[in-house]
Amino acid sequence: METLHTASVDSPIGPLFLAASAQGLVALEFDARLRGQQTIRPNPRDLRQEKEKEKKGYEFVEGPRQLQAYASELEEYFAGKRREFTFPLDLRGTDFQQSCWRALLAIPYGETRTYADIARAVGKPTAFRAVGMANNRNPIAVVVPCHRVIASDGTLCGYGGGLDIKRKLLELEGALSGTLAA
């Protein structure tokens, strides 16, 4: 069974849950998730919790020391002192999801792209809905910047942390203009 070190960190957008393997960051999740949103964490109210851990093949070990480098870079990002993250990522998903997430990582700080832009970037120009689903499954919010993806009409849409958090992240990065609306 794989061990994932975990920690919760405070941020200006609320508490964040971090999980890392020996290879890198596996998850960065908002503490308050939207209904039905995917999570790596077991539901503490779920009586099948131990079975879920076995099924997923990992166990959680509280490890704030192991996650300090991740927490420090996030703190710098939220303070406006960091534009790129340098820690390793351990992205886990389908080949298509991973190609979408790599395309997200290529969006420069302070810029936005549309779902159609990402679909073209991954060589599937008509797959903008599938790109939206891949964004929805992004396990490493903020760092894999799905908040930088907007609708083709320039409006903010679909974000696991909610549109208020998406707006705050884009404001932090200076990516919001008068044309972006909710």
Task: Please give the positions annotated as active site.
Answer: 146
Token readout for 167 is 């707006």
Sheet strands side by side (includes 25-30): 25-30, 16-20, 2-9, 58-62
Phi/psi at 100 (5° precision) = -65, -45
Cα three-residue angle 111-84-167, rounded to 5 degrees = 45
All residues at 6 or more sequence positions from 67 whose CB lies less than 8 Å from its CB, including other chains: 5, 6, 7, 9, 18, 20
